[in-house]
Structure 1
Amino acid sequence: MPEGHTIHRLAADLHARFTGAVVSASSPQGRFADSAALVDGHRMTGTEAHGKHLFLGFDAARPGGAGAGPAGTRWVHIHLGLYGKFTVRDGEAPPPRGQIRLRLTDEGHYADLRGPNTCELITRGEKQQLHQRLGPDPLREDGDPAVAYERLARSSVAVGALLLDQKIIAGVGNIYRAEVLFRHGVDPYLPAKLLPRRTWDEMWRDLTELMAAGVAAKRIDTVRPEHTPEAMNREPRVDGHGGEVYVYRRAHRTCLICGTPVRTAEMFGRNLFWCPTCQPAHAPAAEAGSRRS
């Protein structure tokens, strides 16, 4: 599943190409045809990302008609899920091929959405309700680390599990979860309520910088300059996910910092990666792993 930086990158790419333009919208697959017809020929007013959710705004009125403006905006809400892809391209759109849920075109650009978990037309009020259900996003200007910490501090669930809870913090996925815990020496099994506020504030600032770098580079890199392949005279990472990381998908390989083999375990249905030396255990793994909310 794409992590939050990917959705923010998509929002930026779509904004650059379509915002302010009168957009043709269609659903070659047919599953979004009725809703696509309601925004077809309307002006895109903007794009927005919150965690793993993408929002595309359209004036409710056609150009020159009544009802334009924020109160008259319709929103297409998209969640890619595990298999969704949203490709944005310059040039003339080719004939539709495959299961395209939503196609957007204007003069010189097109975007095709395939296989999303969610693609729906919602009102401004429904959009606001979605925002209220999500935790703060490190990449949004309104992201507030204090809100996330308040939710963490009320729970005895392992912090490694709660970092993937989109109601706690929006946009963090398995890679950023593993890497930010490593970079701050936090045991993933530590009960969230025992995480010091100062440590959380440092983790939030780190996530903000790492995820912003991910938006710019279109890949996740989390190693510090002194630990890059060039600095350490080591082979670069070879992995379908790309990017240089400390522990993610490096199970049983030696830690770049201390040489201890990286460990892996399942935590609430997701694979966890950590270094037991750099992230010293708060409690025995068996005991910590048995906690449930």
Structure 2
Amino acid sequence: MPEGHSVHRIARQFDRNIVGRPVRASSPQGRFAEGAAVLDGREAVEVRAVGKQMFLAFENEVWLRVHLGMYGAWDFAGEILADPTIASANGRMGQTNQRGTDIDRVYDDAGENSLSSIGAPRRSRVRVRMSEQTTGLGADGEAEAEWPPPVVGQVRLRLLTDVTCADLRGPTACQLQTPDEVLAAITKLGPDPLVGDPAEGEERFVAVVRRKPTPIGLLLMDQNVVSGIGNVYRAEMLFRARLNPHTPGRDVLEEVVRGLWRDWVRLLAIGIETGQMMTMDDLDPEAYRRAMASRDDRHWVYHRAGLPCRVCGTAIVLEEMAARKLYWCPNCQR
């Protein structure tokens, strides 16, 4: 499932390529035909990301709400404008690690790179989901020339401008909403560090966690408690805090709860900047390059069941918590 950093990156891509332009909307699959007909011909005027959900506003106060869920994905084609704040002066995409060292973009074979990792502006075809990987390029690196691009697979919604195409596949939610419905949907969600005042978000998060008997490992995944954290960030944040995932929220020291929020603020920013869920700190340039290129070198505990803990050597445990995989070190997180 895409986690918060991916959805914010997708929203930024919509802001760069779709917002401010009239949009042709269609539902090649047919399951969103009525909604597409309402959107067709309207100008996109605003986009918001809150946690794992994106809200795209069109003229005359019509909103599109999209939740990608476990299997949803956006495919972009056409002129994809990358984020200029992370483009280097020579036009290549650069990357800055936590220690401030500029290095060349590393392409992740497992596919967590963002749209901007392909460089821009250029014509390209990319898929944006948690894996956020480039697809559809020819052997010479040039993208498909046909425009608009052919529909591939089950496309719930296609949004098309003169130069950019966005195809939505397999979302959990794709629906039109009124402004009041959007406000109600956002109000139900827990705080997102990039929405509203982060200090107020911290207070909301601390207040909820500190009164709950629910295990902290469940609370971090509850989108009504905090927005955007998924399985990867959950496991990594708990390890970084050396916190047992079964500890009831109300038993977690307030300073530790505040530390969790502040760590989420930091990790979310890194994920948005790099397009990857980098959760290890203070890596030298070579170790950082390895981590960017391979998920196996990027995380403390996630996806490391049975392997020795990077800190103490104890075998990492894998268990199920509310039908989701949980990775943790029983020694470091006692």
Coarse TM-score class (shorter-chain normalised): 0.7 to 0.9
Contact 2:278 2:292 in 1 (8 A): no
Q: Which residue of 1 aligns with 2:252?
A: 195
1:275 shift after superposition: 1.1
1:229 shift after superposition: 6.7
Counterpart residue type for residue 41 of structure 1: G
Q: Which residue of 2 aligns with 1:260?
A: 314
Counterpart residue type for residue 270 of structure 1: R
Going from structure 1 to structure 2, the CA distance change for 1:77 and 1:229 (only over 3 Å counts) comes to same
Q: What is the aligned residue count? A: 265
Q: Which residue of 2 aligns with 1:274?
A: 328
1:95 shift after superposition: 2.1
Q: Residues of 2 paired with 1:212 and 1:261: CA distance? A: 30
Q: Residues of 2 paired with 1:50 and 1:275: CA distance? A: 31
Contact 1:221 1:243 in 2 (8 A): no
Give 3-state SS (helix, strand or coil) of 1:45's partner.
Answer: strand
Q: Which residue of 1 aligns with 2:135?
A: none
User: Percent same amino acid among aligned pairs?
Assistant: 39
Give 3-state SS (helix, strand or coil) of 2:156's partner.
Answer: strand
Q: Which residue of 1 aligns with 2:16?
A: 16
Cα-to-partner distance string for 1:111-163 (whole Å, 9 max, x where unaligned): 00011111000000001110111111123234501112211112111101111
> Is the aligned partner of 1:115 residue 2:170?
yes
Q: Residues of 1 paired with 2:6 and 2:292: CA distance? A: 20
Contact 1:219 1:243 in 2 (8 A): no
Q: Which residue of 2 aligns with 1:225?
A: 282
Instruction: Select the residue among 71, 76, 80 that pairs with 1:88.
Output: 76
Contact 2:44 2:56 in 1 (8 A): yes
Q: Which residue of 2 aligns with 1:43?
A: 43
Higher RCO structure (Cα 8 Å, ≥6 apart): 2
Contact 1:101 1:114 in 2 (8 A): yes
Cα-to-partner distance string for 1:250-283 (whole Å, 9 max, x where unaligned): 0111111121111121111111111122112xxx
> Is the aligned partner of 1:137 residue 2:125?
no
Q: CA RMSD in A?
A: 2.0
Give 3-state SS (helix, strand or coil) of 1:273's partner.
Answer: strand
Q: Residues of 2 paired with 1:190 and 1:115: CA distance? A: 35
Q: Residues of 2 paired with 1:236 and 1:22: CA distance? A: 40
Give 3-state SS (helix, strand or coil) of 2:43's partner.
Answer: strand
Give structure 1 stretches of 5+ with no counterpart.
61-72, 281-293
Cα-to-partner distance string for 1:66-123 (whole Å, 9 max, x where unaligned): xxxxxxx111000111111112222443122221111111121110001111100000
Q: Which residue of 1 aligns with 2:160?
A: 105
1:238 shift after superposition: 8.4
1:227 shift after superposition: 8.0
1:237 shift after superposition: 8.9
Counterpart residue type for residue 310 of structure 2: L
Q: Which residue of 2 aligns with 1:146?
A: 203
Give structure 2 stretches of 5+ with no counterpart.
80-146
Counterpart residue type for residue 277 of structure 1: N
Give 3-state SS (helix, strand or coil) of 1:225's partner.
Answer: coil
Going from structure 1 to structure 2, the CA distance change for 1:81 and 1:251 (only over 3 Å counts) comes to same
Counterpart residue type for residue 205 of structure 1: R
Counterpart residue type for residue 221 of structure 1: M
Give 3-state SS (helix, strand or coil) of 1:215's partner.
Answer: helix
Q: Residues of 1 paired with 2:291 and 2:206: CA distance? A: 35
Contact 2:158 2:167 in 1 (8 A): yes
Q: Residues of 2 paired with 1:157 and 1:39: CA distance? A: 42
